[in-house]
Structure 1
């Protein structure tokens, strides 16, 4: 896997090319809080024949270094988490800078950013501060800040509470708010596989806490009107992690936005309804590229 470096921290990413000549548009998939690259396996498979794919390991996830002070990571959880949250947590600006280092390393000048929850917030920050974002797709995300709809307290306790039982039992319990009960009951073998992917690729406890600091402390709310790239907002109406109100707030404040509310959809709607979400992304990108081509044609000098 290729690697980029920022501030002495090694950042790993996948880079799949649809065409050997490098002529395809690029999609970058940005993970949610604590999740590894496995999160986007369905969308990557659906779109990799048409688009180049970049899938970074968020700092502290998968093969990317955490960049946290070694002594902090070794502290007991009850001491470590408050310290990381107040002092050593990641910032939204820093995670966006990580993304830019990866795109520079990959030689990508323009990319379509697809992000879930924290990944969607990173995508917004990146599009506001850097020039490589061609479009945004925000799934189960938020703009952050005090006026965003907060995570329900019951969900927060389940996601961030103390470990319960074995490693697998803890992961299974923490996954429940992200999926619908119906999907979980109908797909027991898939849920078992997801647990193993999580054990292999997800962020460690310390890095997950550091990522959470960026999610809870970051906000782009007051800058949303400055977002000029085409934006697709996808959100499940039954999202128990990020209430669907956040999707409506994003659509109201970002000037060029298409809102898709999926009835009954969960936080991981891109897994439970993977084909539909992949089609929404593909259609939005195709329509955006066609519009951009039409503008370019109008702006180009005509031959007489």
Structure 2
């Protein structure tokens, strides 16, 4: 997020099991609690009394849980394209939205009809290349208009990497709806209007439960507003955090 780097210090976390971070011995241990444990270690290592925490998508689940467990370490919270709950209803809504996407684009791009199956396929625990291939294939669904701006987005699509082992974590469905009133730090909730998986419905659910929160919806934007509309996204976050 280079636009934000110009005004503040950004620390990007590669969660355990991804990027250059290490791997867990047992893939079943990739849980929200595990990610919070390592995130807390990073924040303590930074040596600041408080930080502003931005969590995107699954990172938003971790950020919510972290805020609930370690509120005293936060000055502010940004929850971006995420949800306070997963489970059957959450996934059914995502599948239905992706089916709508496929119906819209199938006449010109028949390959999109396989996107739903790819989304719900769990890769083999050690098959990073296979997981990456799936993510790159279905990546257009995460944008408002991928093909209309393919020249802008294609290089990033080819650079995407996915790590398979974290998909094997075993834990109950995520649900912090009843706890969110305990998040009392200033909170910005951001969602892309056309995000098929963590759109405005889930963002409003968070906003309604956090007493000191505000909601921003980016129009004509999918799951990756910081890429599709970087200036608008950066302005939202920058104005919220530093004015």
Per-residue CA deviation, residues 30-59 of structure 1 (Å, 9 max, x unaligned), is: xxxxxxxxxxxxx2x112232111101011
Q: CA deviation at 1:162?
A: 6.8
Selected match of 2:68 from 128, 152, 160: 128
Query: Which segments of structure 1 move beyond 6 Å, counting only runs of 4 or more?
Result: none
| Count of residues in Structure 1 that have an aligned counterpart in Structure 2 | 217
TM-score by length of 1: 0.64
- CA distance 1:48–1:162, shift in 2 (3 Å): closer
Selected match of 1:188 from 132, 143, 150: 150
Structure with the greater relative contact order (CA < 8 A, sep ≥ 6): 1 or 2? 2
Please tell me whether residue 137 in structure 1 is matched to residue 78 in structure 2: yes
CA distance in 1, matches of 2:7, 2:154: 30
- Contact 1:126-1:133 within 8 A present in 2 as well: no
CA distance in 2, matches of 1:108, 1:60: 26
Selected match of 1:111 from 51, 60, 64: 51
Q: CA deviation at 1:116?
A: 0.9
Question: Which residue number in structure 2 is paired with residue 152 of structure 1?
Answer: 94
Q: Which runs of 5+ in 1 are unaligned?
A: 1-42, 70-83, 288-304
- CA distance 1:102–1:169, shift in 2 (3 Å): closer
* SS of corresponding position for 2:208: helix
Per-residue CA deviation, residues 67-101 of structure 1 (Å, 9 max, x unaligned), is: 133xxxxxxxxxxxxxx5xxx14221221111010
CA distance in 2, matches of 1:61, 1:132: 25
Q: Give the alignment of 1:66-105 within 5 angstroms.
A: 66-69=23-26, 88-105=28-45
- Contact 2:189-2:216 within 8 A present in 1 as well: yes
Q: CA deviation at 1:109?
A: 2.1
* SS of corresponding position for 1:104: helix
TM-score by length of 2: 0.79
Larger Rg: 1
CA distance in 1, matches of 2:178, 2:87: 11
CA distance in 2, matches of 1:219, 1:265: 26
